[in-house]
Amino acid sequence: MRKIAIVGAGQAGLQLALGLQDQGYTVTLVSERTPEQIETGRVMSTQALFHDACLTERQLNLNFWEEMCPPVEGIAFSVPHPDLNGDKAVAFAARLDHPAYSVDQRVKFAGWLRVFKERGGTVILEQADVQSVDQLSEGHDLTVIATGKGELGRLFARDDVHSPYRAPQRHLALAYLKNTVPRPEHSAVSFNLIPGAGECFLLPGLTRSPDGSLQPYENVLIEAVPGGPLDVFENITSPDELLSTMLQLMQTFCPWEYERIKDGELTDPQATLTGRVTPQVRRPVAALPSGRLVLGLGDTLVVNDPITGQGAGSAARAAATYLESILRRAERPFNRSWMQDTFGAYWDHARFTTAWTNAMLGPPPPHVLAVLTAAQTQPGVAHAFVNAFNHPPHFFPWLTSPEEAAAFVDRHSTSA
Ligand SMILES: Cc1cc2nc3c(=O)[nH]c(=O)nc-3n(C[C@H](O)[C@H](O)[C@H](O)COP(=O)(O)OP(=O)(O)OC[C@H]3O[C@@H](n4cnc5c(N)ncnc54)[C@H](O)[C@@H]3O)c2cc1C
């Protein structure tokens, strides 16, 4: 059997490693942290996985936590009234055809890493660099770099055509809360768009409490437009201060959400995160000093702002696409053209996610506002909009064309 090395034990790297291992491949996985370090480390994401991404995990029987995880049954979209008087200027909600799930990546990655090891996988515990990757690649038929937003990604050249931004478009603050109140109608990603200021998101998930038991919690994510009224996190140093600042912002900008989380407490001492992401696409193949080639995977190649909640789902899809391509390759060499084709098969879908996510970072044009307005009174439009989160190609072509947007509304106005 062929030998595959994977650097990076996150959503993409672990899922691919476990999938290959299941098919009898000899897999070496490089992780910079032990399962215990991951489990007790800082939160990383809100990690909502929509249905198609969940299916890629289910197909490999890796959905260990799904039954315990509170389902995300829909998406609720709101825009506050410009006077911030507690009213909503836009509001609609619809159910997803199939629920999404948010399993704390600390739980998932630690669990998957343990399973990979128990099933006989080789784990190298180190922070890989170019030299160590080069050495590793010597003994493997294929080396995949899945280090997310880590430094190693710089091996891969920037794709300027698909990377419109040179700087982060949002400053992020994330908190995991317990003792919150569920949405009354159905659970949802609550997506609050505050024009010119940013976005506030709430969604339920599953985490591990400090006593080791699994517990439901609420993700609270604020995405601040740099320099805007939500962009106040820079000098905050303590988790408690971050939480009280986030609560104050929610009270001002989306009081209906504040009511649900005002008594919330952090789930654990590492339950907060601040940061920023520069959206970027990179070329899929890089050469090591030896001349051997490596293939990038997941956020290493395509990183989007979390505004649309797609990165982990895209990483899962990428892992599934690469797995299929590796299996199909059988004994033939993993050469440059195969690597490019493998990424290309993923990019055929991911390009829609990237285009949609980048569009969401700017102010919505009038034809998009018209769709959002129609969604308030037309359940069919709301349903189509919400369910496109599971399949971003469905945001096109209407997202970029006023005529297509009008046709989209017409098409879905009659269907509930
Ligand atoms: C605030 C926030 C909210 C988000 N919300 C969502 C959401 O709701 N839904 C969604 O789908 N996505 C979301 N995302 C994005 C999602 O978390 C990522 O896109 C996804 O985890 C990417 O998977 P990956 O495997 O490519 O990288 P990662 O999951 O980041 O894994 C990379 C791994 O490589 C390791 N690593 C890095 N460098 C090295 C090295 N040199 N040597 C060894 N190991 C290394 C890292 O420790 C990590 O374990 C969010 C992101 C953020 C920041």
pLDDT (0 to 100) of residue 34: 98
Distance of CA 385 to the CA centre of its chain: 19
- 131: in domain: yes
Pocket test for ligand 1, best of 16, 40, 44 (most atoms within 8 A of CB): 44
pLDDT (0 to 100) of residue 415: 52
- Looking at the fold, whether 139 and 180 belong to one and the same domain comes out as no
Ligand 1 touching residue 128 (CB < 6 A)? yes
- Looking at the fold, whether 40 and 156 belong to one and the same domain comes out as yes
Mean pLDDT (10-residue bins), the chain, 416 residues:
96 98 98 98 98 98 97 98 95 98 98 98 98 98 98 97 97 98 97 97 97 97 98 96 98 97 98 97 98 98 98 98 98 98 98 98 95 97 98 98 97 76
CA of 361 to the centre of ligand 1 (A): 20
- Looking at the fold, whether 188 and 305 belong to one and the same domain comes out as no
Supply the angle between the helices 51-59 and 311-329 in degrees, to the nearest 10: 40
Residue 32, token pair as written in the block: 């910079």
- Looking at the fold, whether 254 and 304 belong to one and the same domain comes out as no
From 201, 181, 205, 183, select the one nearest 192 (Cα to Cα).
Answer: 201
- Looking at the fold, whether 113 and 153 belong to one and the same domain comes out as yes
- Which residue, judged by its Cα, is nearest atom 21 of ligand 1? 312
- 136: in domain: yes
- Looking at the fold, whether 52 and 153 belong to one and the same domain comes out as yes
pLDDT (0 to 100) of residue 1: 79
- 26: in domain: yes
CA of 210 to the centre of ligand 1 (A): 22
- 193: in domain: yes
- 67: in domain: no
- Looking at the fold, whether 230 and 379 belong to one and the same domain comes out as no
Amino acid in the structure at residue 149:
K
Ligand 1 touching residue 113 (CB < 6 A)? no
Residues 6 or more apart whose CB falls under 8 angstroms from that of 35 comprise: 109, 110, 111, 113, 114
Q: Contact 106/207 with Cβ under 8 angstroms?
A: yes
pLDDT (0 to 100) of residue 205: 98
Peptide bond into 397 cis (omega under 30): yes
| Domain enclosing residue 235, as ranges | 72-102+169-276
- 263: in domain: yes
- Looking at the fold, whether 38 and 128 belong to one and the same domain comes out as yes
Q: How many separate domains does the chain show?
A: 3
Ligand 1 touching residue 19 (CB < 6 A)? no
| Strand segments (E) across 81-188 | 88-102, 122-125, 142-145, 171-178
How far apart, in whole angstroms, are the C-alpha atoms of residue 381 and residue 384?
5
- Looking at the fold, whether 243 and 386 belong to one and the same domain comes out as no
Helix (H) or strand (E) holding 12: helix 11-22
Angle at the Cα of 85 from the Cα atoms of 84 and 88, rounded to 5 degrees: 75
Ligand 1 touching residue 219 (CB < 6 A)? no
> Alpha helices, DSSP H only, in 330-364?
336-360
Ligand 1 touching residue 310 (CB < 6 A)? yes
Residue 86, token pair as written in the block: 């507690």
Among residues 253, 276, 299, which one ends one of the domains? 276
Among residues 243, 276, 309, which one ends one of the domains? 276
pLDDT (0 to 100) of residue 215: 97
How far CA 163 is from CA of 179, 358, 393, in Å, comes to 40, 9, 19
How far apart, in whole angstroms, are the C-alpha atoms of residue 384 and residue 399?
13
pLDDT (0 to 100) of residue 264: 98
Q: Which atom from ligand 1 is nearest to the alpha carbon of 172?
A: 1
Residues 6 or more apart whose CB falls under 8 angstroms from that of 37 comprise: none
- 257: in domain: yes
- Looking at the fold, whether 263 and 154 belong to one and the same domain comes out as no
- Looking at the fold, whether 213 and 226 belong to one and the same domain comes out as yes
CA of 11 to the centre of ligand 1 (A): 7
- Looking at the fold, whether 45 and 108 belong to one and the same domain comes out as yes
Among residues 247, 276, 305, which one ends one of the domains? 276
CATH classification of the domain holding 308: 3.50.50.60
Residue 372, token pair as written in the block: 């959002």
- 382: in domain: yes
Kindly write down the DSSP assignment for every residue of 252-272, as one continuous string.
HH-HHHHHHHTT-EESSTT-E
CATH classification of the domain holding 205: 3.30.9.40
